[in-house]
C-alpha cells in the first residue's frame, strides 16, 4: 500500500470514528473541567501538530521525558514515606520498622507546635503537641529521632517552613554529634514559605523577612552542604487546598523562580545552588493529566530558568521532584476504596517520572496512619517497582496522542499564568496581594459544589454508597502525656546549659535580623548547639520580624452557581428564610480554626457556601485559642460556632471552647464541628456538648440544612434567654 493510500485509508477511518464519537464528544465537552483542559473522546496524530515539546530524549533539555537518560531502568524511584507522631522515640521506632520493610528514605512530619515555632510548654499549643507529627523542642529531641539511623547513609526529607532555622540547625547538630560532618548530610528541607501564605498557613513571620531566611539557607547549604537540597518547592499543598493542575503548576514554578531570584540578588551564582533545588507535587485521581503535569513541569522549569537566569550548567535547568498521592482524594466512607485511589495515583506519579514517592495510607481521612495501613501504602510502591514492569523502559507514555496533547495544554496554560505573575512583580507581591490564595479558593469551592451535586462522582460518597461500616482501628495519641514528657525534657535541657552563652547567641540572631547582616542559619546553628530551644529562636526573630497575621476573605457566589441541581438547595433556602421570619435576623455562623492547624480549605468552603445560602459568616482568625474563639463569637452575636479540625486536637480544644462558652453564660450558642474526626470520638464530643458533627464527604448543603434546623430549634428553645443575654440582663 502506498503512502498516499495509507493516508486516505487513515482519513476515512478517522472520519468514521469522529462521526461515531460525535455524541460522546458533545457529552464530554459539556462536562466542566476544573483543570481548564480541553478533553476530546478521540485523539490522532493531528493533535500533536501544536506540541513543541516533543523533540528531546530523556536526560536532555528541557527534560520533558525525565531528568536522567536511564530513569528507572538505572535506579527506581525512592520509596520515601512521610511519617512522624508523638515523641521522638516513638517516631524513631516507626522509622526503623519502615526501613526494615523496604523503605529507602525518611520524610519527617513535625507537629504543629514545632511548625509554628512554639515550644511544647507554650500555652497556645496544649492541643497540638505530638498530634499531627513529632514534637521537637531541642537538639536532644532530634538526636532521639535519628538514634541508630546513620545520617551519613540515610537521605532525610523534612517538611518544615516556619521554624526552618532551628529545625535544620538541630538536624545538622544531630549529625555532628553522631560523628557525621555537615558536608556528608543528604536530604531535603522544604523551606518553601511562599506556599504557606497561599494555602497551608504554617508561617511565622511576614513574607519579606521569611524570604530573607530562605535565601540565607540557600546560601549556607550551597557552600557547606553539597549533598543537601536547600528547598523543596511545593505544589502539593496547593492541590490539597483545591488548586487545579494549571494553578498548581504555575504557582509552584513561580514560587521557585522567586526563590532563585532572591538568592541571585544575594550575590549567589545560579549554578552554585540551582542544581540542588527540588520540587514536590501532589498526584490526584485525574490519571493522564497528572502524568502529563510532571512532564509539563520539567519543560516549563527548564524554559523559564533559561529565559530569566541563563545558567551555564544544564543541571540548573533540571527539575527533580518528590510526589505524594492526594490526601484530599481520600474518603471516610468506604475507606478501603482509598487503597485503590492511592494505587492509581502512584501509577500516575511513576509514569510521569517522579524521583521519589510517598503513598498515603487508606485511613488518613479518619486519623493518623496505623502500622497496618502504612504497610499497605509502602507495599503499593514496592509492588509497582517489582511486579508491574514500570522500571523496564523510560517514559513509556511518550508519543501517546492524548498524553502529549495534555502536556502541551498544561505547558501553554501554566505558562500564561506564570507570565501574569511575573508581570505583577513576582510571587512575593502576588502573595501579598492575595491573588493565588483567592484563585485557589474559587476552584476549591466550585469543586465541592460539583461533588455535592453529584456532577463529579466519588464512589462510596455520592454514588454507589453501601451500608457497610467497616470498623477501622485508628492510631490514638495521648496528647497530654506527650506534652508532659516534652516539658520535662525542656526543663532538663535548660538546667544543664550555659544560659548566658545561649542568651548571647540569641542576641546575635536578633542583631542579624535587625541589620540584615550575617547568615541567620549559621548563627542559629551556634544557638542550637548551645541548647537554645526552637521556641526561643522563633521568639527572638519575631521580636524583630513580628508574627504574621493572615487576612481571611470569603469568596462569594461560587458554590451555588456551580451546584448542578438547584432544586436540591431549596430546603436550605427555606430553612434560612424560616429562621429569618421568626427572628428578624439572619443566622450567624462563626468559623473557628483552633490551635495551630492552618489548613483552612474546609473552613473556607463552608464559609463561602453558607454565605451563599443567606448566613452572615464571621471568619475567625487562624490559630485561635478556645478562649479567644469563644470571646470573639460572643462579641459577634453568633448563633453557631463551626470548628474545623484536621490535626487531631479536637478532644482537647473543642471541650475547652464549650467550657468557655458556659463560663461566659453563652450556652445558647451551638457548637458544630467537621473535618478529620474518627467516629469513635463522636460520642465523646457529643457528651462534651457538640451539637452536630460532619465527617469528610458530608455534602455542604446537607450540613447547612442540618445546622439551620438545629439553630432554629435552639432559638425556639432559648430565645428568651438569648434576648436577655444580648441586652445584658442575664
Q: Edge-to-edge, what's the strand order for the sheet holding 588-592? A: 616-619, 588-592, 640-645, 670-675, 692-694
Element (H, E) at 674: strand 670-675
**8-state DSSP, 594:** B
Q: Edge-to-edge, what's the strand order for the sheet holding 78-83? A: 228-229, 187-189, 156-159, 105-109, 78-83, 356-358, 321-325, 277-283, 231-234
**Number of C-alpha atoms within 13 angstroms, CB side, residue 571?**
12
The verdict on whether 597 is a catalytic residue reads yes
Residue count of the chain, please give it: 730
149 contact partners, CB below 8 Å, separation of at least 6: 92, 95, 96, 99, 106
Residue in 314, 207, 205 with CA at minimum distance from that of residue 258: 207
Annotated catalytic residue, options 599, 604, 650, 660: 599
Residue in 246, 221, 77 with CA at minimum distance from that of residue 520: 221
311 phi and psi, to 5 degrees?
A: -70, 160
Task: Report the largest interatomic distance among the alpha carbons of the chain, rounded to a whole angstrom.
Answer: 96
Exposure b/e, 478-506, CB count within 10 A at least 16 = b: ebeebbebbbebbeebeeeeeeeebeebb
Residue in 489, 475, 598 with CA at minimum distance from that of residue 142: 489
Rounded Cα distance between 519 and 319, Å, is 27
458 phi and psi, to 5 degrees?
A: -120, 110
Residue in 202, 182, 267 with CA at minimum distance from that of residue 519: 267
Rounded Cα distance between 314 and 298, Å, is 13
Rounded Cα distance between 215 and 261, Å, is 9
Rounded Cα distance between 142 and 189, Å, is 14
Annotated catalytic residue, options 111, 597, 600, 668: 597
The verdict on whether 237 is a catalytic residue reads yes
For residue 108, the cross-strand partners are 83, 158
For the chain, what is the total number of helices (H) and then of strands (E)? Answer: 28, 14
Annotated catalytic residue, options 143, 237, 261, 651: 237
Rounded Cα distance between 412 and 453, Å, is 31
Rounded Cα distance between 405 and 49, Å, is 9
Rounded Cα distance between 158 and 168, Å, is 8
310 contact partners, CB below 8 Å, separation of at least 6: none
Question: CA triplet 236, 241, 245: central angle to 5 degrees?
Answer: 60
45 contact partners, CB below 8 Å, separation of at least 6: 401
Annotated catalytic residue, options 118, 220, 236, 559: 236
**8-state DSSP, 681:** G
Rounded Cα distance between 164 and 155, Å, is 18
Annotated catalytic residue, options 131, 447, 593, 604: 593
13 contact partners, CB below 8 Å, separation of at least 6: none
Q: Output the DSSP codes for 407-444.
A: HHHHHHHHHHHHHHHHHHT-HHHHHHTTHHHHHHHHHH
User: Helices in 516-645 by DSSP H: which ranges?
Assistant: 520-529, 534-545, 559-562, 570-583, 601-613, 626-635
Element (H, E) at 693: strand 692-694
Burial class (CB in 10 A: 0-12, 13-18, 19+), 510: middle
Rounded Cα distance between 697 and 451, Å, is 9
**What radius of gyration do the chain's Cα atoms show?**
26
Rounded Cα distance between 615 and 612, Å, is 7
Annotated catalytic residue, options 82, 118, 545, 590: 82
The verdict on whether 236 is a catalytic residue reads yes
Active site residues: 82, 236-237, 593, 597, 599
Amino acid at each position: 500500500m502506498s503512502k498516499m493510500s495509507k493516508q486516505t485509508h487513515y482519513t476515512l477511518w478517522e472520519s468514521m470514528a469522529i462521526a461515531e464519537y460525535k455524541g460522546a464528544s458533545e457529552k464530554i465537552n459539556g462536562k466542566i473541567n476544573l483543570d481548564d483542559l480541553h478533553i476530546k473522546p478521540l485523539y490522532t496524530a493531528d493533535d500533536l501538530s501544536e506540541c513543541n515539546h516533543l523533540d528531546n530524549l530523556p536526560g536532555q533539555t528541557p527534560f520533558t521525558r525525565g531528568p536522567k537518560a536511564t530513569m528507572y531502568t538505572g535506579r527506581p524511584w525512592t520509596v520515601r514515606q512521610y511519617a512522624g507522631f508523638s515523641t521522638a522515640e516513638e517516631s524513631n521506632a516507626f522509622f526503623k520498622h519502615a526501613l526494615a520493610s523496604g523503605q529507602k528514605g525518611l520524610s519527617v512530619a513535625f507537629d504543629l507546635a514545632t511548625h509554628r515555632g512554639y515550644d511544647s510548654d507554650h500555652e497556645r499549643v496544649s492541643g497540638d503537641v505530638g498530634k499531627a507529627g513529632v514534637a521537637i523542642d531541642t537538639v536532644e529531641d532530634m538526636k532521639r529521632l535519628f538514634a541508630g539511623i546513620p545520617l551519613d547513609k540515610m537521605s532525610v526529607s523534612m517538611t518544615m517552613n516556619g521554624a526552618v532555622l532551628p529545625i535544620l540547625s538541630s538536624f545538622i547538630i544531630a549529625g555532628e554529634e553522631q560523628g557525621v560532618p555537615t558536608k556528608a548530610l543528604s536530604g531535603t528541607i522544604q523551606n518553601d514559605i511562599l506556599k504557606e501564605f497561599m494555602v497551608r498557613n504554617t508561617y511565622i513571620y511576614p513574607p519579606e523577612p521569611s524570604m530573607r531566611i530562605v535565601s540565607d539557607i540557600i546560601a549556607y547549604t550551597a557552600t557547606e552542604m553539597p549533598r543537601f537540597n536547600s528547598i523543596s518547592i511545593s505544589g502539593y499543598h496547593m492541590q490539597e487546598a483545591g488548586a487545579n493542575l494549571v494553578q498548581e503548576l504555575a504557582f509552584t514554578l513561580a514560587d521557585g523562580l522567586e526563590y532563585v531570584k532572591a538568592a541571585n540578588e544575594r550575590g549567589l551564582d545560579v549554578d552554585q545552588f540551582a542544581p540542588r533545588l527540588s520540587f514536590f507535587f501532589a498526584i490526584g485521581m485525574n490519571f493522564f493529566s497528572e502524568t502529563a503535569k510532571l512532564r509539563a513541569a520539567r519543560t516549563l522549569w527548564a524554559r523559564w530558568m533559561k529565559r530569566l537566569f541563563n545558567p551555564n550548567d544544564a543541571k540548573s535547568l533540571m527539575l527533580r521532584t518528590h510526589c505524594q498521592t492526594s490526601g484530599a482524594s481520600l474518603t471516610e466512607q468506604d475507606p478501603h476504596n482509598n487503597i485503590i485511589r492511592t494505587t492509581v495515583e502512584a501509577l500516575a506519579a511513576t509514569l510521569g517520572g517522579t524521583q521519589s514517592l510517598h503513598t498515603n495510607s487508606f485511613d488518613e481521612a479518619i486519623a493518623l496512619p496505623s502500622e497496618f495501613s502504612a504497610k499497605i501504602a509502602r507495599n503499593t510502591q514496592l509492588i509497582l517497582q517489582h511486579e508491574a514492569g514500570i522500571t523496564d523502559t523510560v517514559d513509556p507514555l511518550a508519543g501517546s496522542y492524548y498524553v502529549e496533547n495534555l502536556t502541551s495544554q498544561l505547558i501553554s496554560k501554566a505558562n500564561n499564568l506564570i507570565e501574569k505573575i511575573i508581570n505583577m512583580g513576582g510571587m512575593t507581591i502576588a502573595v501579598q496581594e492575595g491573588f493565588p490564595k483567592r484563585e485557589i479558593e474559587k476552584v476549591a469551592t466550585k469543586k465541592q459544589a460539583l461533588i455535592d451535586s453529584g456532577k463529579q462522582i466519588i464512589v462510596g460518597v455520592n454514588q454507589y454508597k453501601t451500608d457497610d461500616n467497616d470498623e477501622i482501628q485508628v492510631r490514638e495519641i495521648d496528647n497530654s502525656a506527650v506534652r508532659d514528657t516534652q516539658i520535662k525534657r525542656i526543663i532538663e535541657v535548660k538546667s544543664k546549659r550555659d544560659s548566658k552563652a545561649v542568651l548571647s547567641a540569641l542576641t546575635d540572631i536578633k542583631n542579624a535580623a535587625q541589620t540584615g547582616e550575617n547568615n541567620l542559619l549559621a548563627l542559629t546553628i551556634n544557638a542550637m548547639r548551645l541548647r537554645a530551644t526552637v521556641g526561643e529562636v522563633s521568639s527572638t526573630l519575631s521580636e524583630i520580624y513580628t508574627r504574621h497575621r493572615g487576612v481571611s476573605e470569603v469568596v462569594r457566589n461560587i458554590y451555588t452557581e456551580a451546584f448542578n441541581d438547584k432544586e436540591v438547595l431549596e430546603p436550605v433556602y427555606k430553612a434560612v428564610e424560616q429562621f429569618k421570619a421568626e427572628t428578624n435576623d439572619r443566622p450567624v455562623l462563626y468559623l473557628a480554626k483552633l490551635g495551630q492547624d492552618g489548613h483552612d480549605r474546609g473552613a473556607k468552603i463552608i464559609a463561602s457556601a453558607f454565605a451563599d445560602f443567606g448566613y452572615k459568616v464571621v471568619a475567625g482568625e487562624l490559630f485561635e485559642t478556645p478562649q479567644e474563639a469563644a470571646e470573639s463569637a460572643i462579641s459577634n452575636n453568633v448563633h453557631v460556632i463551626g470548628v474545623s479540625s484536621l490535626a487531631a486536637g479536637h478532644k482537647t480544644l473543642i471541650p475547652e471552647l464549650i467550657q468557655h462558652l458556659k463560663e461566659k453564660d453563652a450556652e445558647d450558642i451551638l457548637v458544630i464541628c467537621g473535618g478529620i474526626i474518627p467516629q469513635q470520638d463522636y460520642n465523646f464530643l457529643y457528651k462534651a456538648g457538640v451539637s452536630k458533627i460532619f465527617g469528610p464527604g458530608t455534602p455542604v448543603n446537607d450540613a447547612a440544612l442540618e445546622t439551620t434546623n438545629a439553630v432554629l430549634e435552639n432559638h425556639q428553645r432559648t430565645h428568651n434567654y438569648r434576648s436577655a443575654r444580648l441586652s445584658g440582663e442575664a
